[in-house]
A and B are shown apart, each in its own frame.
Chain A
Amino acid sequence: MLEQILSMVFTTSFGYSIIRITSPILFAALAAVVAEKAGVTNIGLEGIMMISALFGVLFAYWTSYWWVGVIGAMVVGVILALIIGIFALKLKTDIILAGIAINLVGSGGTIFLLYLFTGLKGNTASLTTPSMLTPKLNIPILESIPVIGPIFSGHSILTYVAFLLVFLVWVLLYKTALGLQIRAVGENSHAADSVGVSVLKIQYIALGISGALSGLGGAYMSMYYSQSWNTGIVAGRGFIALAAQAMGQGEPLGSMFASLLFGFASALGNKMEGMQGFSSFLVAAVPYAVTIIGLVLYASTQVRRVKKSRFMEKGKKEAEKS
């Protein structure tokens, strides 16, 4: 059986599906990275993805342009993130609770919003036609390289954006003035405040960016991955992104690898689903379980580091001896 699995893993289509599955999580993980760097935990990613996924489809439907849908999803993402911001930063709602509220809107509220904007009832919206989905991109030279080509070419344009964004977010955080201020605010807001950096403004901006990024993630889900909108479309990817951020130590590159890990687990699950003796449900649980295990493993290495530096064990033993 192991052989069977291995033979499946070492195929180009498997590589392709890892990237395909990783993309939306990567968007959201980067969103979590930017927010967390500024010292705000955006647990509303899940809800933002849900709602922007819906609006992505709606905007594309209204205008017949896929790119309007994508931009619309981003704008909706920004607005929602700023709503979290207003409540968390100005009105001092606990940011976790503010995020949960947005998730509430995302879970059932979207069905109502769908009705509000279109008069349609039900939990799916198949408004899109293939022409309104984000286009696939075949990369000219890459495409023709064996093995590499089939894995990396032919993805949604948004996939390339997602991986490009890993670099761009890094540049933003480490090579721009705004990034410096974001990092300063997140690490020591008093210090930033004392030199006239508006902590609130920076946190709003970071939340806004995080909203835009998760909006893209939402658009990817409804306008490419699922090819339409339904209530189960995001299925905890926003939450997984939070875990990816934590595992990636809050850095863009690290979070990308953590997202890929999830993508791998998920793709493996999808492959195994077809095999006899594997339950599709158990397989679906794998990525989430992997995330928990990854989180725990990562946390345990952290704990060990802290312990070492504090001479915990050593001190205690010596105290016992004497």
Chain B
Amino acid sequence: MADNEYVVQMKGITKVYPNGIAANQGVDFNVKKGEIHALMGENGAGKSTLMKMLFGLEQPTEGTITVNGEEVSLTSPTVAISKGIGMVHQHFMLVPNLTVAENIVLGMEPKKNNLFMDYKKAVEITEEYAKKYNLQVDPDAKVRDIPVGMKQKVEILKALVRGAKILILDEPTAVLTTQETEELFKELIHLKEQGYTMVFISHKLHEIKQITDRLTIMRGGKSMGVYNTADISKEEISRLMVGRDVILTVEKEQAQPTDVVLRVRDLEYTNEWKKKMINHMSFDVRKGEILGIAGVEGNGQRELVDMLFNLNMPDSGVAKVNGHNILGESQRKIRDLGVSLIPEDRMTFGMAGAASIEENLISDRCAQKRYNNGPLFNMKKIHEDSDKLIEEYKVLCKNRTQKVGMLSGGNIQKVVVAREFSAEPVLIIADQPTRGIDVGATEFIRKKLVELSREGAAVLLVSADLNEVMELSDSLIIMYNGQIAAYFEDTKDLTDTVMGEYMLGLKQQSPEEVRRVQHGE
């Protein structure tokens, strides 16, 4: 193949972060002119890292990048923009208190008299591009007040105004409604017809099939190959992406659920932008069962978990653990009721990076009698138990004094899990427990989760990873738009297709069917 066929060529890219995590290892990635190229992979497969390097936000440790046949050193976004590369970030890179027009011209402001900003011109530019590319926005609205779909358009416009010919779209549909997604796709095809090249990062199969020409699949920081979208089946993509053949199915006995441990009734939550994130949710989690919550991210899962651990307050509703209220109670009280949480954002909530493994392991129990002799810590007990946990949970480290921040993602999560699981919980809330971590750690954590549930813990498993929820859950809720779209008492005969339909809002169970998740009362 002639080299000039490609507008982007990344060769042998390796990225090692300062904390020693190798996010990319010898990745090759090529994009043809005028195509929509999918970059696929599970969370943590290294897609985002690869694209950050293409946009100059990170620099590769090894490897070369060629854009339009010219080898380039993308030291900053500015350089990348000057090479015609634009990026639409997953988490919008917008300034909430500035208007749409201000956000769009930021960094390339039109000026009057070389000094003052020409705001009128900024509005004109915005309107001109909005019209040309059929991306309707309100130039004078403050970004904090506009809906998510419009924010996305602002992001795309930002790139186009800067003369981007190659657009990187980082999971653009993650936050969009079905309708908005359809709209976006129309706009993207419109752009493609005008000669734009796009890299489309996603892990949603149907979207990829619908819109892309070719695709590159990544797994564990490596490329799993490049394919024509038309020539590869969804099953094959799925196999390459999630690598079912590596992850063994977790063996588990039939669950014998007994009493209700967590009871949630009529939970409602409206976020600060007045969007109803949780709409009348009611469900029960019983002793000895794993209740999975599946759903496309952003359908209220995060908000639900936040409220169950008092990181946020609901508008109204009830949540009780063994009959005791947990809404608005201190984390101490919630933990004392026997609730453990594996937080989704483990870097923010799950660990103190600059503290040692041992210190991270005792954070929830530092005041317990077992670890204190009067006013002083019982260091012997602490050392003993830490070493035991490190061994039991196979945390790969030098010793218990190593800083947690220096560990790999999988080992950090093992530390979190070791702490949460060893607290003798009656209820475990596991929010994306294996996101972005290696296969070994993933399997280990999943097995542990099953083990604990069979020993009598109630488990609420929230995961965007279909494989995970389907394999681990005894029964399953699918969340869509802040509501329970479906409840399955048994996950054995569930298929991806059926789940997909509920997850994407194509189907919705009747209220009677959904009500089966309330056991008693």
Residues of A within 8 A of B (CB): 171, 175-177, 179-181, 183-184, 187-188, 190-198, 309-312, 314-316, 318-320, 322
Contacts and interface: CB of A to CB of B under 8 A. Distances in A.
Given A175-B116, A176-B116, A309-B272, A315 B77 contact: no
Given A179-B117, A187-B96, A315 B313 contact: yes
A57 to B, nearest CB: 33
Interface stretch (B86-94, B242-250, B387-395, B492-500): B86-94
A184 B98 CA distance: 8
Given A196-B77, A309-B272, A319-B318, A177 B93 contact: no
Contact of B314 (A191, A192, A194, A315): A315
Given A183-B95, A195-B93, A315-B314, 16 more contacts: A176-B115, A176-B116, A177-B117, A180-B98, A180-B106, A183-B98, A188-B95, A191-B94, A191-B106, A194-B89, A195-B107, A196-B76, A196-B107, A310-B312, A312-B313, A315-B315
B276 interface: no
Contacts of B272: 309-310
Nearest to A310: B313
A188 B77 CA distance: 16
A314 B328 CA distance: 10
B97 interface: yes
A322 B324 CA distance: 10
Interface of B: 55, 57, 76-78, 81, 87, 89, 92-98, 102-103, 106-109, 111, 115-117, 158, 162, 272, 312-319, 325, 327-328
Contacts of A181: 106-107, 109
A188 B115 CA distance: 23
Contacts of B55: 194
B190 to A, nearest CB: 23
Nearest to B114: A177
Contacts of B77: 193-196
Contacts of A195: 77, 81, 93, 106-108, 158, 162
B224 to A, nearest CB: 29
Contacts of A315: 313-316, 327-328
A311 B272 CA distance: 10
Contacts of A320: 325
A192 B318 contact: no
25 contacts: A171-B116, A175-B117, A177-B109, A177-B111, A180-B102, A187-B95, A187-B98, A191-B93, A191-B94, A191-B95, A192-B107, A193-B77, A194-B55, A194-B77, A196-B81, A196-B162, A312-B328, A314-B315, A314-B316, A315-B313, A315-B314, A315-B315, A315-B328, A318-B317, A319-B318
Contacts of A177: 109, 111, 116-117
Given A315-B328, A318-B316, A319-B327, A197 B117 contact: no
A177 B114 CA distance: 9
A231 B275 CA distance: 57
A180 B109 contact: yes
Contacts of A316: 313, 327-328
Tell me the dominant secondary structure on chain A's binding face.
Answer: helix
A316 B329 CA distance: 8
B19 to A, nearest CB: 16
Contacts of A187: 95-98
A184 B95 contact: yes
Contact of B107 (A179, A183, A197): A197
Contacts of B325: 319-320, 322
A311 B115 CA distance: 45
A190 B76 contact: no
3 closest A-B pairs by beta carbon, nearest first, are: A196-B78, A177-B109, A315-B313
A191 to B, nearest CB: 4
Contacts of B102: 180
A188 B89 CA distance: 14
A146 to B, nearest CB: 39
A76 to B, nearest CB: 26
A193 to B, nearest CB: 6
B106 A311 contact: no
Nearest to B326: A319
Contacts of B313: 310-312, 315-316
Nearest to B76: A196
A198 B107 CA distance: 9
Nearest to B109: A177
A310 B92 CA distance: 23
A251 B328 CA distance: 35
Given A177-B111, A191-B93, A319 B106 contact: no
B412 to A, nearest CB: 23
A124 to B, nearest CB: 42
A103 to B, nearest CB: 27
Contacts of A318: 316-317
B116 A190 contact: no
A309 B313 CA distance: 11
Contacts of B317: 318-319
A108 B188 CA distance: 63
Contacts of B319: 319
B314 A197 contact: no
A198 B78 contact: yes
B117 A176 contact: yes
Nearest to B270: A311
A197 B93 contact: no
A259 B81 CA distance: 43
Nearest to B111: A177
Nearest to B82: A196
A300 B109 CA distance: 38
A291 B446 CA distance: 56
A165 B460 CA distance: 58
A184 B94 CA distance: 9
Q: Which has the most chain B C-beta neighbours within 10 Å: A190, A196, A197, A316?
A: A196
Nearest to B89: A194
A183 B316 CA distance: 37
